[in-house]
């Protein structure tokens, strides 16, 4: 093994020798520079492998003096890992900076090495004063590299940084000196040993001085003003280097030195300062318009989170791996984002439209980093955050968890706000990355790849290997993302094969999955839905190359949810589903904006679910099955948080505003899946997660009321409210969007009944909605594909051109409306019987009203598109492509089968609900007649009656009376006038205006106004709050002084 002292010696020596090497040419100097970093990586890596195999940490004694007199260094697993990260980041930045002249110069090379050396020194040293020296070396490195900047902003930032750094190092040095006076040693380990024995007045003050010095270097609130300026003003490649080296090293210094700080007061101080930083910086970041400044706030926040966790790790409450994963995640993502920001060059967020539209790899890298930064799976930060929260939960730190979740939400706000811009196609030629050489973006790609690989590795530990369906589909999707040359229809065929393959494996029993339990039930729906979408994809080509790859990842993630038995596995799949569906939604024409709103609500839903799971974890529950054991207040909190989370995800009334846009603007090919399948997954959540917890009751003024009843009303309100809004839509996809949300409201309501009949109704309704809404969205996709329009005013009379699509929509709306004899009626019937059986009478009548209101939009949909007058522009429109019609047929067949025999589904459902409740909900009086406590229904006889009547009357129509003559389109009885153009005859705009007038008081956009109000308040707070950073160097120094005084006032200066 190489002597670890060389980790410091070699780069230091090379830094001094580099000017000589440079005489051989700049290329040689660069090569030597890179070789040096490679050497660091190799040595540290080799040691790291040793440590991971159980080797003990090594102490290196310098100058022949044993500690405590001499300075010693230490290399252990943490140190080795951090050195590896520093070297990797150094290589990435060196390659990147070679393309950016002013800092890629000889001086730049030297200073880059100086920064790396300083960081490695900080990481390895065990001597307090030596820490000070390396701190200053790093500082000087930073100051000098910044001064190369030609721009005034960089200079200003540098001066502020040096000013605050001067104050900070004074605090630090004073702290060191007094500590030496108190303990008589400068060796950290010795000092840790001796400090508790020294009872000297003022020790607290000394420790406080030292800590403020470190916190200032760590850029914690309120000492982070200059650091944020630095992010904004300095060449981003340099900042990436600083993130990967100095920032990590400083955090490690904090980690080491925090051993001196014992007692609850200090732990509380660390946690408070860290959490304050995390919250404040995340909130302030949402008002940033400049990319790198925003990244600066984010960095502060992330370091704040790490600092917050330190006392909990020290006390053994949180696993060390949580911090490690979060730190690695932050390094990968933040350095990667900074390099990408430099390569792109757009300083303002608004300039990022269409970013990297010519480079698939960079787009994937950008998305990867944003997802990683926001703590989404499978990236390391997700697992780190989970571990941290579990640790906090298990030791009763509920409020801290709440703070972490709130802060995380703001991260979504600004990161996805940025990604929204990047995903929005540019009106003009997009900036950046046009032919950027591989070496410039090498670091980004490397870190993206590492983040994906590391994340995938953990994910496979949770979910299983490549043979599990979820991982198989996810991996297949990931591969498909990179295949650019194939036509989209061929990719659809590949997707079809992959889905069919998995389905075959599942249903042939090769991978055992018990069918007709709740997850088997949803599994069938998901795989069938994915299959149908792939078939449709053979007809309508996807507009973006990444559609099918993301689609497979999405399907895989849903299957991962269904297969998971642990809370962690479930939640990982949940969040994977969230972001993959978000990216798919964003592929639509106005998708990025709608997708952003979708993501915010989905993120909030995810955090609520996470919160609920943490409540469960606090009671020691880690698997879904164990949720049964919850009781009392814990059960109420878990039930409430989970149910609200799932309710937000199904866009319940109040949180519904994301849904119409997301449904309407997502790619036409994706909407059927979004509406049909994804909206059902929260229902699975209710069934498989929430329902395992016994529904508690809450006391109200009148009587105690079951939370399930509240959820029922939420579902009912959603069903009613969304139906009402759907009536007035002028856009066909928006109409169906509101309808979808409303229909899922019925399912939520039925789930909330928590009776066998209620669940039968819910699950039957869920399948039925999947079928008819999928069918409707597919048919509408065909109409949009052929006509190119989406508003009702632009269509009409298409029955003449697209009769098969008309029939598809007709079947869809009859099933939706619940009119016998199609399958929808059985759903309504089950729902009402279940509601009556439970005794929720008002909800029954309320739902009857909502159901009838659905007729209004059903008729609107079919009339405005297919009936009335065919427009002149549509005279040559063709029928939808045959694969799409085939996909529709695949949905129609089950609808018709269920219409004749709803038992096909209801009978197996009885096994399912019997498994849950012990008794079936529906009984079968005969083979065809279903009965409940309240009523009976014979679908087959009903269908027979209708068919017979139809045939008899058709016979009468064909035989009686004169043979009808077909007249032309405009041959209508028109008050003795000649009818004008079809456009003027079509009654299609503001179709239900009188109805709108009648309901005017209900239609005020109160919910939207409420959310606008929330946004205004948060933005107002962020806007006012960020003025804290006045930009004046003196203010920042003043803050550092005041910070000491405030902390002292809290009694830390003993």
Partner 1 sequence: MPLGIKIAWSFLGVLVAIAYGLVIAGIIRKVMARIQGRIGPPVWQQFIDLGKVIFQRTATRHGWMFYLAPIFRAGGGIGLYLLIPVVIGVPALSNFSFNGDLLLVMYFIFFGSLGMALGAADSGHPHSPIGISRGLSQMTAYELPFALAMVALAAQVHSFSIHDIIMAQQGGILHWNLFANPLAAIAAFIAFLGMNMYAPFNIVGAPQEIPVGPPTEYNSIFLSLMMSGRAILAVAKIVLYMDLFLGGAHSILAAFVKTIIIYFWSVFVGAVFPRFRTEQAVRFFLGWPTVAGIAGVLLVLIR
Partner 2 sequence: MMAGNELYVATGLIVILIGFATVLVKRNLLKIVIGFSLIDSGTNLLIVALGFYPGRTAPIVNNPDMLANRASLLVNTAKVVDPVPQALVLTAIVIGVGVTALMLAYVVRLYATGKTLDVRQFGRMKW
**Rule CB under 8 A: is residue 515 a binding residue for partner 2?**
no
User: Which one of 934, 1010, 1028, 1050 is in contact with partner 1 (CB under 8 A)?
Assistant: 934
Q: Which tokens sit at 942?
A: 């009903």
CB of 144 to partner 2, least distance (A): 6
Distance in angstroms (rounded) separating the CA atoms of residues 627 and 870:
58
CB of 929 to partner 1, least distance (A): 8
**Rule CB under 8 A: is residue 1034 a binding residue for partner 2?**
yes
Q: Which tokens sit at 1034?
A: 């003196």
**Rule CB under 8 A: is residue 797 a binding residue for partner 1?**
yes
Our measurement of the distance from residue 889's CA atom to the centroid of its chain's CA atoms, rounded to an integer in Å, reads 34
User: Which one of 25, 166, 487, 620 is in contact with partner 2 (CB under 8 A)?
Assistant: 166
Q: Is 506 within 8 Å of 523 (Cβ atoms)? A: yes
Mention every residue, 6+ apart, whose C-beta is less than 8 A from residue 752: 686, 708, 709, 711, 712, 715, 758
Half-sphere exposure of 713 (CA within 13 A, CB side): 7
Environment class of 724 (CB within 10 Å of its CB; exposed 0-12, middle 13-18, buried 19+): buried
**Rule CB under 8 A: is residue 177 a binding residue for partner 2?**
yes
Beta strands in 378-519 (DSSP E): none
Q: Pick from partner 1, partner 2, none: which does 965 bind, CB < 5 to 8 A by kind?
A: partner 1
C-alpha distances (whole Å) from 442 to each of 87, 446, 450, 988 are: 14, 6, 12, 56
Binders of partner 2 in range 450-509 (CB under 8 A): none
x-marked contacts with partner 2 along 676-715 as a string, rule CB under 8 A: ----------------------------------------
Distance in angstroms (rounded) separating the CA atoms of residues 207 and 211:
6
Nearer to partner 1 by Cβ, of 950 and 1028: the residue is 950
Binders of partner 1 in range 729-758 (CB under 8 A): none
Distance in angstroms (rounded) separating the CA atoms of residues 393 and 402:
10
| Segment interacting with partner 1, rule: CB under 8 A, options 102-110, 823-831, 1006-1014, 1036-1044 | 823-831
| Segment interacting with partner 1, rule: CB under 8 A, options 400-408, 520-528, 633-641, 842-850 | 842-850
**Rule CB under 8 A: is residue 1014 a binding residue for partner 1?**
no
| Segment interacting with partner 2, rule: CB under 8 A, options 143-151, 533-541, 593-601, 612-620 | 143-151
- State the greatest distance between any 2 C-alpha atoms of the chain, in Å, as a whole number: 118
Q: Which tokens sit at 201?
A: 């007045």
C-alpha distances (whole Å) from 336 to each of 95, 221, 387, 419, 695 are: 13, 24, 24, 14, 46
| DSSP type of residue 425 | P
Our measurement of the distance from residue 856's CA atom to the centroid of its chain's CA atoms, rounded to an integer in Å, reads 36
User: Which one of 855, 924, 1021, 1025 is in contact with partner 1 (CB under 8 A)?
Assistant: 855
User: Which one of 52, 66, 957, 1046 is in contact with partner 1 (CB under 8 A)?
Assistant: 957
C-alpha distances (whole Å) from 906 to each of 749, 835, 1033 are: 18, 17, 72
User: Which one of 1030, 1045, 1046, 1051 is in contact with partner 2 (CB under 8 A)?
Assistant: 1030
**Rule CB under 8 A: is residue 1042 a binding residue for partner 2?**
no
**Rule CB under 8 A: is residue 157 a binding residue for partner 2?**
yes
Nearer to partner 2 by Cβ, of 166 and 514: the residue is 166
Binders of partner 1 in range 864-893 (CB under 8 A): 867-869
Nearer to partner 2 by Cβ, of 981 and 1032: the residue is 1032
| Segment interacting with partner 1, rule: CB under 8 A, options 426-434, 618-626, 686-694, 980-988 | 980-988
| DSSP codes, 389-401 | HHHHHHTT-HHHH
User: Which one of 836, 889, 1007, 1053 is in contact with partner 1 (CB under 8 A)?
Assistant: 836
**Rule CB under 8 A: is residue 1033 a binding residue for partner 2?**
yes
- Residue positions counted in the chain: 1054
**Rule CB under 8 A: is residue 945 a binding residue for partner 1?**
yes
**Rule CB under 8 A: is residue 804 a binding residue for partner 2?**
no
**Rule CB under 8 A: is residue 970 a binding residue for partner 1?**
yes
Nearer to partner 2 by Cβ, of 472 and 1029: the residue is 1029
**Rule CB under 8 A: is residue 1041 a binding residue for partner 2?**
yes
Q: Which tokens sit at 307?
A: 């600092």
Name the region of 63 (left: φ>0; alpha: ψ -120 to 50; beta: rest): left
Binders of partner 2 in range 14-33 (CB under 8 A): none
CB of 343 to partner 2, least distance (A): 22
Nearer to partner 2 by Cβ, of 12 and 781: the residue is 12
**Rule CB under 8 A: is residue 152 a binding residue for partner 1?**
no
**Rule CB under 8 A: is residue 848 a binding residue for partner 1?**
yes
| DSSP type of residue 147 | H
3-state secondary structure at position 936: strand
Q: Pick from partner 1, partner 2, none: which does 1038 bind, CB < 5 to 8 A by kind?
A: partner 2
Q: Pick from partner 1, partner 2, none: which does 173 bind, CB < 5 to 8 A by kind?
A: partner 2
Binders of partner 1 in range 236-295 (CB under 8 A): none
**Rule CB under 8 A: is residue 989 a binding residue for partner 1?**
no
Distance in angstroms (rounded) separating the CA atoms of residues 317 and 311:
9
CB of 656 to partner 1, least distance (A): 20
Q: Find the DSSP H helices in 345-468.
A: 360-373, 380-394, 398-423, 438-463
Binders of partner 2 in range 259-318 (CB under 8 A): 287, 293
Q: Pick from partner 1, partner 2, none: which does 564 bind, CB < 5 to 8 A by kind?
A: none
Binders of partner 1 in range 399-428 (CB under 8 A): none
Environment class of 960 (CB within 10 Å of its CB; exposed 0-12, middle 13-18, buried 19+): exposed
Q: Which tokens sit at 889?
A: 């047929």
- The DSSP bridge partners found for residue 74 are 59
**Among residues 607, 649, 824, which one has the least CA distance to residue 741?**
649
**Rule CB under 8 A: is residue 1048 a binding residue for partner 2?**
no
**Among residues 804, 941, 795, 807, which one has the least CA distance to residue 868?**
795
Distance in angstroms (rounded) separating the CA atoms of residues 835 and 761:
10
**Rule CB under 8 A: is residue 972 a binding residue for partner 1?**
yes
CA dihedral 730, 733, 738, 741 (to 10 degrees): 180
Q: Pick from partner 2, partner 1, none: which does 997 bind, CB < 5 to 8 A by kind?
A: partner 1
Distance in angstroms (rounded) separating the CA atoms of residues 11 and 303:
27
**Rule CB under 8 A: is residue 994 a binding residue for partner 1?**
yes
**Rule CB under 8 A: is residue 155 a binding residue for partner 2?**
yes
x-marked contacts with partner 2 along 197-236 as a string, rule CB under 8 A: --------------------------------x--xx---
Q: Pick from partner 1, partner 2, none: which does 153 bind, CB < 5 to 8 A by kind?
A: partner 2
3-state secondary structure at position 899: helix
Environment class of 500 (CB within 10 Å of its CB; exposed 0-12, middle 13-18, buried 19+): middle
Q: Which residue has the tokens 């984002």?
A: 337
3-state secondary structure at position 698: strand
| Segment interacting with partner 1, rule: CB under 8 A, options 216-224, 674-682, 986-994, 1037-1045 | 986-994
| Segment interacting with partner 1, rule: CB under 8 A, options 38-46, 242-250, 385-393, 816-824 | 816-824
3-state secondary structure at position 74: strand
Binders of partner 2 in range 76-135 (CB under 8 A): 129, 132-133
Mention every residue, 6+ apart, whose C-beta is less than 8 A from residue 1038: none
User: Which one of 330, 734, 828, 1026 is in contact with partner 2 (CB under 8 A)?
Assistant: 1026
**Among residues 572, 565, 620, which one has the least CA distance to residue 390?**
620
Can you give the binding site for partner 2, defined by CB under 8 A? 129, 132-133, 136, 139-140, 143-144, 147, 152-153, 155-160, 162-163, 165-167, 169-170, 173-174, 176-178, 180-181, 186, 229, 232-233, 287, 293, 1026-1027, 1029-1034, 1037-1038, 1041
């Amino acid at each position: 093994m190489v002597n670890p002292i060389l980790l410091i010696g070699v780069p230091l020596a090379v830094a001094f020798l580099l000017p000589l090497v440079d005489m051989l040419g700049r290329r040689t100097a660069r090569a030597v520079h890179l070789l040096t970093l490679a050497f660091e990586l190799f040595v540290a890596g080799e040691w790291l492998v040793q440590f991971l195999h159980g080797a003990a940490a090594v102490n290196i004694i310098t100058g022949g003096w044993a500690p405590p007199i001499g300075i010693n260094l230490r290399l252990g697993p943490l140190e080795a890992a951090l050195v590896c990260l520093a070297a990797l980041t150094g290589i990435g930045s060196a390659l990147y900076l070679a393309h950016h002249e002013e800092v890629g110069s000889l001086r730049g090379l030297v200073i880059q090495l100086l920064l790396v050396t300083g960081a490695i020194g900080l990481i390895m040293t065990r001597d307090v004063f030596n820490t000070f020296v390396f701190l200053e070396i790093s500082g000087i490195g930073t100051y000098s590299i910044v001064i190369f900047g030609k721009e005034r902003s960089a200079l200003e930032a540098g001066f502020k940084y040096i000013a605050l750094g001067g104050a900070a190092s004074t605090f630090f040095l004073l702290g060191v000196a007094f500590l030496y006076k108190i303990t008589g040693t400068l060796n950290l380990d010795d000092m840790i040993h001796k400090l508790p024995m020294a009872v000297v007045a003022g020790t607290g003050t000394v420790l406080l001085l030292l800590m403020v010095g470190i916190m200032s270097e760590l850029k914690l609130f309120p000492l982070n003003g200059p650091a944020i300026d630095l992010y904004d003003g300095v060449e981003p490649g340099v900042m990436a280097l600083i993130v990967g080296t100095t920032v990590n090293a400083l955090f490690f210094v904090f980690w080491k030195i925090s051993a001196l700080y014992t007692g609850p007061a200090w732990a509380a101080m660390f946690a408070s300062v860290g959490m304050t930083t995390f919250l404040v910086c995340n909130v302030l970041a949402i008002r940033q318009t400049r990319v790198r400044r925003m990244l600066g706030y984010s960095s502060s926040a992330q370091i704040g989170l790490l600092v917050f966790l330190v006392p909990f790790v020290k006390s053994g409450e949180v696993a060390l791996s949580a911090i490690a994963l979060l730190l690695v995640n932050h390094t990968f993502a933040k350095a990667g984002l900074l390099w990408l920001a430099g390569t792109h060059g757009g300083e303002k967020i608004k300039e990022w439209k269409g970013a990297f539209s010519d480079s698939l790899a960079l787009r994937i890298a950008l998305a990867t980093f944003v997802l990683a930064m926001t703590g989404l799976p499978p990236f390391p930060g997700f697992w780190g955050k989970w571990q941290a929260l579990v640790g906090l939960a298990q030791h009763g730190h509920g409020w801290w968890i709440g703070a972490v979740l709130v802060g995380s939400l703001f991260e979504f706000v600004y990161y996805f706000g940025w990604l929204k811009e990047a995903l929005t196609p540019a009106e003009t030629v997009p900036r950046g990355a046009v032919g950027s050489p591989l070496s410039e973006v090498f670091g980004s790609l490397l870190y993206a790849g590492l983040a994906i690989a590391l994340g995938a590795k953990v994910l496979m530990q949770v979910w299983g290997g490549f043979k599990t369906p979820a991982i198989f589909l996810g991996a297949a999707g990931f591969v498909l993302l990179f295949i650019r040359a194939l036509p989209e229809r061929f990719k659809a065929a590949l997707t079809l094969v992959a889905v069919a393959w998995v389905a075959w494996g599942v249903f042939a029993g090769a991978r055992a999955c018990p069918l007709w339990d709740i997850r088997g039930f949803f599994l069938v729906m998901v795989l069938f839905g994915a299959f149908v979408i792939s078939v449709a994809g053979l007809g309508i080509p996807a507009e973006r190359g990444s559609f099918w790859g993301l689609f497979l990842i999405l399907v895989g993630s849903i299957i991962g949810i269904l297969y998971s038995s642990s809370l962690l596995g479930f939640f990982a799949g949940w969040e994977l589903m969230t972001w993959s569906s978000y990216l798919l939604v964003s592929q639509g024409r106005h998708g990025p904006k709608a997708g952003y709103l979708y993501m915010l609500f989905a993120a909030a839903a995810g955090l609520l679910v996470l919160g609920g799971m943490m409540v469960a974890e606090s009671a020691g529950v880690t698997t879904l099955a164990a949720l049964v054991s919850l009781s009392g207040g814990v059960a109420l909190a878990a039930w409430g948080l989970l149910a609200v989370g799932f309710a937000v995800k199904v866009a319940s009334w109040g949180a519904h505003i994301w849904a119409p846009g997301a449904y309407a603007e997502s790619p036409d090919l994706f909407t059927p899946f979004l509406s049909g399948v994804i909206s059902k997954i929260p229902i699975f959540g209710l069934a498989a997660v929430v329902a395992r917890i016994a529904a508690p009751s809450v006391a109200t003024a009148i009587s105690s009321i079951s939370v399930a009843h509240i959820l029922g009303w939420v579902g009912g309100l959603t069903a009613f409210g969304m139906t009402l809004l759907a009536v007035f839509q002028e856009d066909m996809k928006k109409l169906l969007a509101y309808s979808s949300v409303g229909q899922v409201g019925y399912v939520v309501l039925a789930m909330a009944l928590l009776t066998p009949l209620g669940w039968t109704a819910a699950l039957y309704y869920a399948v039925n909605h999947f079928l008819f809404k999928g069918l409707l969205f597919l048919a509408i996709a065909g109409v949009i594909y052929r006509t190119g329009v989406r508003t009702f005013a632009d269509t009409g009379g298409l029955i003449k051109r697209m009769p098969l699509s008309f029939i598809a929509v007709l079947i869809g709306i009859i099933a939706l409306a619940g009119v016998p004899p199609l399958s929808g009626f059985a759903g309504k019937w089950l729902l009402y019987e279940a509601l009556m059986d439970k005794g929720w009478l008002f909800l029954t009548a309320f739902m009857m009203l909502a159901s009838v209101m659905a007729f209004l939009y059903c008729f609107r949909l079919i009339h405005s598109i297919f009936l009335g007058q065919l427009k002149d522009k549509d005279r040559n429109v063709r029928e939808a492509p045959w694969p799409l019609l085939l996909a529709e047929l695949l949905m129609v067949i089950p609808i018709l089968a269920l219409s004749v025999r709803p038992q096909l589904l209801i009978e197996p459902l009885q096994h399912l609900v019997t498994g849950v409740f012990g008794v079936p909900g529906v009984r079968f009086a005969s083979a065809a007649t279903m009965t409940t406590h309240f009523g009976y229904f014979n679908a087959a006889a009903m269908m027979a009656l209708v068919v017979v009547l139809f045939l008899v009357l058709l016979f009468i129509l064909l035989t009686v009376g004169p043979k009808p003559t077909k007249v032309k389109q405009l041959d209508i009885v028109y008050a003795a006038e000649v009818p004008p153009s079809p456009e003027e005859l079509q009654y299609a705009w503001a179709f239900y205006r009188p109805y709108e007038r009648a309901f005017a008081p209900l239609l005020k956009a109160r919910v939207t106004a409420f959310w606008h109000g929330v946004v205004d308040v948060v933005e107002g707070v962020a806007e006012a709050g960020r003025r804290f950073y006045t930009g004046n160097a003196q203010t920042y120094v003043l803050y550092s002084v005041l910070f000491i005084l405030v902390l002292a006032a809290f009694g830390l200066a003993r």
